[in-house]
Every structure is written in structure tokens, then in C-alpha cells.
Chains A and B, each alone.
Chain A
Amino acid sequence: MTVSLVARAPAHVDTKAPLRVALVGNPNSGKTAMFNALTGARQKVANYAGVTVERKEGRLIAPDGAPVVVVDLPGTYSLRARSPDEVVTRDAVLGRLEGEVPPDAVICVADATNLRLVLRLALELRSVGRPVVLALNMIDIAERQGLAIDQAALSAALGMPVVATVATRRRGMEALVAAARAAAASSGGAGDRWTEPSASDLRDLHHGAERILKATVRPPKRPDTWSGRLDGVLLHPVAGLVILLALLFVMFQAVFIGAKPIMDLISGGFAALSAGVAHVLPPGILRSLICDGIIAGVGSVVVFLPQITILFLFIILLEDAGYMARAAFLMDKLMGGAGLHGRAFIPLLSSFACAIPAIMATRVIDQKRDRFTTIMVAPLMTCSARIPVYTLIISAFVPQRTLLGVISLQGLVFFGLYAAGIVSALLVAVVMRKVFWRGASEPFLMELPAYKMPDAVNVARGVIQRGQIFLRRAGTIILSMMVLVWFLSTVPGPPLGATRAAIDYSFAGMIGHAIEPVMAPVGFSWQMAVALIPGMAAREVAVGALATVYAVSGESAANLGANLAHHWSLASALAFLAWYVFAPQCASTLGVVKRETNSWRWPIILFAYMAALAYGSAFIVYQTAVALGAG
């Protein structure tokens, strides 16, 4: 904390203020690895004020004991900002970012094997008038390829110090820091001459970069042929898709099955904790708050941590290996039909497990429009929390019959519910594009980086950071939502000698009764309406809530199913299923959407449109079923 306070004073006035260095570079230049190598574990990840762009800051201590603050800025090809991330990079470099101290020096991180575009960026950075140092990263790979760079000539041509580095092995880090400090100290200050480059400026800069490249770099003797050979298979129209599907299959097996034992352990742990607390505290509102509200609430979110960890392990591995861009290439046409970006594919698939990691994973999409559209449709994918509800209703109402001798009718309904989720997600994406972005679709233009072996330390750090972000969210916004839901379902308590279920006397019960007339056209009884309220905590909680309102003892699914079959008409049951395809009630998802979009606007839109779709589809299903005689 004190660091940021000290740093708010202009660095050149207070000589004790730490030097501030910003990392700028093309995507895939090894910038994150460089940031990790420079700062190690001394990192803070947060969001920039007012935007959803991740802010990564770390500290290092130079050999002489002087502290240096390093800020990792989002990757960019130019200071001409095209996305919110790139706006942050531009404004941070120009010193225009509100609440941020301008950097004393900029380190331009370059992939030594792919210099053309980054040299143009370096030329552009030079016009900002801040001291710039070029880090020739991955110099080991360049040397292995027989690529020769005349560093002295390159430094002279660019007018900035050049330092060769290998971030993954921490080679050249001290020299880089020394060069940045020297550059910052000797800066006379050429003044900010940067203006947004026009097309002809870009051409001039590009040709300038080409001239420098030709004069200082000898092309590789043994160029990387592996990437080309791998692409021959991985981008093959048929083989590539088969491999992608196989990879996804393994990934989801790991997410569902691999995470299961740890998830059981976590939920068991929370149950034991709750039992322990219940043993100590006397029965009453406090015990209920701690056990049923806080412990159960946090437990129901933390239980997803293993799934999130495994999912992000795969996503970061694929991203760092350079495969994610290939997956986007293979899927772009399919996703593009709905106006989504190819990169939206992985987050949407993750959404079959849970919408929370899916929404967090949309950070791989650079463009705000594409990212927000993906966030808004991700909760329509059938998440694993809907499965208990589907299973309960289907087994109670859909007869165990086979069609054409092989197709199970129950399985068919199950499949239909999944398909309804997917189709509606694609349709909503199309509508969203028309309504919010006026039909605009971003150009698909993406570098396919060379394949690289992911670095274990960097992958581990990335996974741990995702886990921390998730837990911080679970600890704040999601927890408070859980407590609110608990409050609604518990308070006020039942009077003495109550005959009906306790929840019936609570605010949730009152809301259920109040909305009963509204829910009548879709065939929902007041019990069903009441069960929707605690279902806000997590969709599968509705099963337990139904058991509570129908006062079913033992909570056995078969028992409850028989009970429901007795109380509900088939039309009501089908309407309940139709409702659950859209089911807006998941407080955690709404909380995460709020966090990721940094505004209440999007979660409100999400809740409103999902509620409208849920009501509309339940209405159509119920009325049709009644008309067909299933009422």
C-alpha cells in the first residue's frame, strides 16, 4: 500500500520514489513471461479504475537496493488503440491514464524471431518522448535458428538501448533493468510528438522498420519449420477439427471427472464445518445464518474451484503453446454465423460446466463487443447445475420408453433441452449484435504465433492468479448474494405450531405467493414459484427447495419425483423444464457478470432477458400442452 502512495508523487521530484517501468509489446512476445521473470511473486493483479482491463503491477529490487515498479500493459501492435485493453496501453504510455503515474521508462518487449511488427511499434514508442529500451526476448530461439542480429547497429538505428533476454530463464534481466534505469536517468525529454498515425504514417513506419530489419538482421539459417509442419495437421480442415474435438473431450473429462474427488472433499469439508458449528451454537437465527447462509453459501461456490483450476490449466496451456489462435481459426466460421468471434468457442464450451469460469475465460477475446456478447449468451449453455433439476423432472414425468427400438425417450428430452440452450444462445447472439452493436461485426484478423513449449512456472502462476480472482469474487459479491438469498428464505421464521413448511412463512414464501398470479399462465403453482427464490443461490438448490416446500422427508429423488408426479400436471412439468432452459436465477453468475463488465447494466440486462425468455417459453409450452390435453 505504501508503495502506491509514495509512487503518486512525481518520480523526478522525489528521488526516493521507485522507478516506474512499463512493459509494452506485441501479443505473443513473451511479455507476461518477462513480467514474471522481472517481478517474481511480488505481483498485484487488479482492474484499472472504470474499465475491465486487468492491471498487473509488480516490484523488483535492483542490485543496489533501489526499488523498481513494473507495470505489464496489454499487448498491442500499435499505440492506435482499437480495444479497451489497447486504450489502457496507449494512455498509460502517454501518461494520460487517470489515477496512474506516468512511467519513467518503457521496455518494448520483442520476440527476437519475429521483429518486423515490433520494430514499427518501437519507432512509434520513440515518438512519445519517453525513454524506451528494446528487449530482444527469446534470443535463445533466435540463436538456435541461426538468426543473427547486429545489436549495436539495431540500437543505433532505433535510437534506443537494445538488450538481449530470455525471460523464461531469467537471462538478461539485470542488464535490462540497468538499461531502463540508465535511460530514465539520462532522459533529456524529447517531448511528446505522438499523434495517432494515419494510414500513410503506418506505411512510412513499416517501411522504416523494414529498412532497419534488412540492415541489422540476417534471416535465420534454420528457420522454424515445426510450426508449419504442425499447422499442416492442426489446421487441416478435417484432421484439425478431429484433433480439436479430441482435445476438448479430454479437457471436459478432466473438468468433470478429474475435479470430482476434490469437489466431494470440499463439499464434505464444508458440511463437516457446518455440523461442527451447529454443534457449538444453540439453534436459532445466528446458527442458521452461519450454517445455512454463510458456510453453505461459500461452500456452494468454492466447490467449483477444482473445476475452474483444471479448466484454466488447459486454457492457459493451450494459449501459451500457441494453439488457442488455431482453435479460433477452426471454429471461426461456425461461430461467425452467429456473429461471434472464433475465440468465443472455448468459453462457451466451458459454460457447459459452469457459466462462472466461462465468463472469466472470455478475457481471451480482445474486442469488447465480441467479449460482451459471449458473456451474455454463456449462461444459456446448459450448465451442470441444471442437470439435477432436469434429471428430477424428466425421471418423474417422461415415461421410460424407447423410440424406434433404440432411442430412449428420456434421453431424447434431455438432449432436446441441451439443444434448446445452444440454439437459443446462438439466436440471442445474433439479436444482441443487431440491438446493441447495430449489426457490426469486428474484422477477424489474428496472428498465428509460432508454437512454443509452455513454461511450467508461467502456467502455474497464471492458474493460481485465476483461482485467486475467483476466490476473491466468491468472498465478496457472491457471498453477499448468498446471504441475501438465505435471508429471504429464512426470515421471518415460522410461528409456533406452524403446519406448513418453514420457507412458506419467509419472505421467499411471500414473494412466491405474490407472484403466483403472474406464474399461473405458465402453469406454476405457488410451491413452484417459492422454489424459484432459493434457486437464486444456485440452480440445483431448487431441487432441495421443492423437497422443502412439499415437506418431503429423506430428500430421496425418487420420493420427491413421485410426489411431484402426484401434484403437478404434465403441462406444468414441461413448462418447468422450459423455464429451466433459460432460468435466470443464479446469483453467482450475475455477480461475475457484474465484475467482468464492471457495471450493473449488463447483469440487469442478462437477468431481464433470461427471465423474459424463461417466462415466454414456459408460457408457450404450458399453453400448448394444455391445448393438447396434458393439463
Chain B
Amino acid sequence: MIIVIENLAALVPPLTAAVPSRSTTDMPLPDRPIVALGEQRRGFGGVVAGLRFESTPKAGGVSNAELERRLLEMGFVEGARVEILHEGLIGRDPIAVRLDDMRVAMRRREACCVLIRPGARP
């Protein structure tokens, strides 16, 4: 039920390396590093690669399985195109993202569960 992709989590680079440089956008999609949406800045774009959850949920209100289904219901499904449009004033939180052809507001805490392969959809 709960998709805890541990090996994918290991692939996620630290925050500083998360912003894609020019060179990574030119790389073929499968080779680009996977990053967490919640750690990205305004203007970042990519394709949903998967959902990842900590073993102990940070969002105390709901279980990982519940959060996963909520994200899926909102459209954060593998292959969906994502772009960060706006950031809040305090701590750049929450964020407003374009998700395929709709717009979604979310806190960074939840956005950290969404793994993104940077760059455009092929």
C-alpha cells in the first residue's frame, strides 16, 4: 500500500544541489537526478517521478497511505507535469504549482513527498 521508495530517496540530492543547472535540462530525461518538489524554488519545473514518504509521518494528521491517496486524487500521479508558480512570503511557504492544466496550493511539507524529474516532458 504505502510506497516508500527507499532507493529513490537515497537518490535525492541535498537542498543545495536540488536546483537544476542548465546542463541537466539538456540531459535525456531518465538520466536527470530526481528531486523533491518541496525543496525547489519558483520557476522550477519537471515531471512527477513518484511519491515518497518518511517512515514516521511528519504530517501528524493523516497516515502516509492517506496522504498518498490525497496527493493522487489531486493529480500528483507519475508523469504529471509540475511547475512552481508562486511562493508564500514567510519561509517561501506555501507554494502554488501548476499541475498539468490546473493550479494547486500546498505546503512544502506535503510537497516534499512529491519526487520530480526536472525538465520538460519528452
Verify if B93 is at the interface (C-beta below 8 Å from A): yes
Verify if A500 is at the interface (C-beta below 8 Å from B): no
- Chain A neighbourhood of B121, CB < 8 A: none
Instruction: Render B56-82 as a binary contact track against A, CB cut-off 8 A, 1 for contact.
Output: 000111100111111111110111000
Whether the Cβ atoms of A116 and B75 lie closer than 8 Å is yes
Partner of B104, one of A82, A223, A241, A447: A447
Rounded to whole angstroms, the CA-CA distance of A334 and B68 in the bound complex is 26
- Chain A neighbourhood of B62, CB < 8 A: 440, 442-443
Partner of B77, one of A203, A238, A241, A334: A203
Whether the Cβ atoms of B105 and A199 lie closer than 8 Å is no
State the Cβ distance, A152 to closest chain B Cβ, in Å: 23
Rounded to whole angstroms, the CA-CA distance of A206 and B60 in the bound complex is 27
Verify if B41 is at the interface (C-beta below 8 Å from A): no
Whether the Cβ atoms of B101 and A369 lie closer than 8 Å is no
Whether the Cβ atoms of B106 and A441 lie closer than 8 Å is no
| Closest residue on chain B to residue A439 by CB atoms | B60
Verify if B100 is at the interface (C-beta below 8 Å from A): yes
Whether the Cβ atoms of B88 and A332 lie closer than 8 Å is yes
- Whether A199 contacts B61 in the complex (CB less than 8 A), given A329-B94, A446-B104, comes out as no
Whether the Cβ atoms of A448 and B89 lie closer than 8 Å is no
Verify if A491 is at the interface (C-beta below 8 Å from B): no
Whether the Cβ atoms of B105 and A446 lie closer than 8 Å is yes
What is the interface size of chain A, counting residues whose CB is below 8 A from a CB of the partner? Answer: 50
Whether the Cβ atoms of B96 and A77 lie closer than 8 Å is no
- Whether A78 contacts B110 in the complex (CB less than 8 A), given A199-B65, A333-B94, A440-B61, comes out as no
- Chain B neighbourhood of A329, CB < 8 A: 86, 88, 94, 96, 105
Rounded to whole angstroms, the CA-CA distance of A329 and B92 in the bound complex is 11
State the Cβ distance, A330 to closest chain B Cβ, in Å: 7
Rounded to whole angstroms, the CA-CA distance of A443 and B70 in the bound complex is 9
Within 8 A of A (CB), among B1-42: 1-3
Verify if A553 is at the interface (C-beta below 8 Å from B): no
Instruction: Give the size range of B's interface with the partner.
Output: 35 or more
Whether the Cβ atoms of B75 and A332 lie closer than 8 Å is no
Rounded to whole angstroms, the CA-CA distance of A231 and B68 in the bound complex is 28
Whether the Cβ atoms of B110 and A333 lie closer than 8 Å is no
Whether the Cβ atoms of A199 and B70 lie closer than 8 Å is no
Whether the Cβ atoms of A333 and B70 lie closer than 8 Å is no
- Whether A116 contacts B101 in the complex (CB less than 8 A), given A207-B77, A445-B74, comes out as yes
- Chain B neighbourhood of A231, CB < 8 A: 85-86, 96, 103
- Chain B neighbourhood of A116, CB < 8 A: 75, 100-102
Verify if A468 is at the interface (C-beta below 8 Å from B): no
- Whether A336 contacts B105 in the complex (CB less than 8 A), given A206-B75, A241-B89, comes out as no
Whether the Cβ atoms of A447 and B106 lie closer than 8 Å is no
Whether the Cβ atoms of B102 and A447 lie closer than 8 Å is yes
- Chain B neighbourhood of A513, CB < 8 A: none
- Chain A neighbourhood of B102, CB < 8 A: 114, 116-117, 447-448
State the Cβ distance, A508 to closest chain B Cβ, in Å: 44
Whether the Cβ atoms of A445 and B71 lie closer than 8 Å is yes
| Closest residue on chain A to residue B87 by CB atoms | A237
State the Cβ distance, A464 to closest chain B Cβ, in Å: 31
Verify if B91 is at the interface (C-beta below 8 Å from A): yes
Instruction: Render A419-442 as a binary contact track against B, CB cut-off 8 A, 1 for contact.
Output: 000000000000000000111111
- Whether A206 contacts B70 in the complex (CB less than 8 A), given A237-B88, A446-B105, comes out as no
Whether the Cβ atoms of B105 and A334 lie closer than 8 Å is no
State the Cβ distance, B61 to closest chain A Cβ, in Å: 4
Partner of A336, one of B1, B85, B107: B107
Instruction: Render A225-256 as a binary contact track against B, CB cut-off 8 A, 1 for contact.
Output: 00110010001111001000000000000000
Whether the Cβ atoms of A443 and B61 lie closer than 8 Å is yes
Whether the Cβ atoms of B107 and A199 lie closer than 8 Å is no
Interface centre among A238, A332, A445, A449 (most CB of B within 10 A): A445
Verify if A325 is at the interface (C-beta below 8 Å from B): yes
State the Cβ distance, A127 to closest chain B Cβ, in Å: 16
- Chain B neighbourhood of A450, CB < 8 A: 103
State the Cβ distance, B117 to closest chain A Cβ, in Å: 17
State the Cβ distance, B121 to closest chain A Cβ, in Å: 12
Rounded to whole angstroms, the CA-CA distance of A164 and B72 in the bound complex is 28
- Chain A neighbourhood of B69, CB < 8 A: 80, 197-199, 202
Partner of A444, one of B72, B75, B103, B107: B107
Whether the Cβ atoms of A199 and B74 lie closer than 8 Å is no
Whether the Cβ atoms of B70 and A238 lie closer than 8 Å is no
Whether the Cβ atoms of A203 and B74 lie closer than 8 Å is no
State the Cβ distance, B24 to closest chain A Cβ, in Å: 26
Verify if A328 is at the interface (C-beta below 8 Å from B): yes
Rounded to whole angstroms, the CA-CA distance of A441 and B62 in the bound complex is 8
Partner of B105, one of A120, A237, A328: A328
Rounded to whole angstroms, the CA-CA distance of A228 and B66 in the bound complex is 30
- Chain A neighbourhood of B89, CB < 8 A: 237-238, 241, 330, 333
State the Cβ distance, A383 to closest chain B Cβ, in Å: 28
Rounded to whole angstroms, the CA-CA distance of A305 and B112 in the bound complex is 45
State the Cβ distance, B112 to closest chain A Cβ, in Å: 11
- Chain A neighbourhood of B96, CB < 8 A: 231, 235, 329, 448
Whether the Cβ atoms of A199 and B77 lie closer than 8 Å is no
Interface centre among B3, B105, B106 (most CB of A within 10 A): B105
Rounded to whole angstroms, the CA-CA distance of A94 and B118 in the bound complex is 41
- Chain B neighbourhood of A114, CB < 8 A: 101-102
- Chain B neighbourhood of A235, CB < 8 A: 85-86, 96
Rounded to whole angstroms, the CA-CA distance of A325 and B87 in the bound complex is 14
Rounded to whole angstroms, the CA-CA distance of A448 and B70 in the bound complex is 16
Whether the Cβ atoms of A441 and B60 lie closer than 8 Å is yes
| Closest residue on chain B to residue A440 by CB atoms | B61
- Whether A444 contacts B106 in the complex (CB less than 8 A), given A199-B72, A333-B91, A334-B90, comes out as yes
Rounded to whole angstroms, the CA-CA distance of A330 and B1 in the bound complex is 34
Partner of A77, one of B74, B101, B110: B74
Whether the Cβ atoms of A203 and B107 lie closer than 8 Å is no
- Chain B neighbourhood of A207, CB < 8 A: 77
16 contacts between A and B (CB under 8 A): A78-B73, A114-B102, A116-B101, A117-B73, A117-B102, A197-B69, A198-B69, A199-B3, A202-B69, A227-B103, A329-B86, A329-B94, A334-B90, A442-B61, A448-B103, A448-B104
List 11 extra interface pairs beyond A440-B60, A446-B105, CB under 8 A. A116-B75, A116-B100, A116-B101, A198-B69, A199-B3, A231-B96, A235-B85, A440-B62, A443-B107, A446-B104, A447-B105
Smallest CB-CB A-B distances: 5 pairs:
A440-B61, A237-B89, A448-B103, A202-B72, A235-B86
Which chain B residues have a beta carbon within 8 Å of chain A's beta carbons?
A: 1-3, 59-62, 65-75, 77-79, 85-91, 93-94, 96, 100-107, 109-110
Which chain A residues have a beta carbon within 8 Å of chain B's beta carbons?
A: 77-78, 80, 82, 114, 116-117, 120, 197-199, 202-203, 206-207, 210, 219, 223, 227-228, 231, 235-238, 241, 325, 328-330, 332-334, 336, 342, 369, 437-450
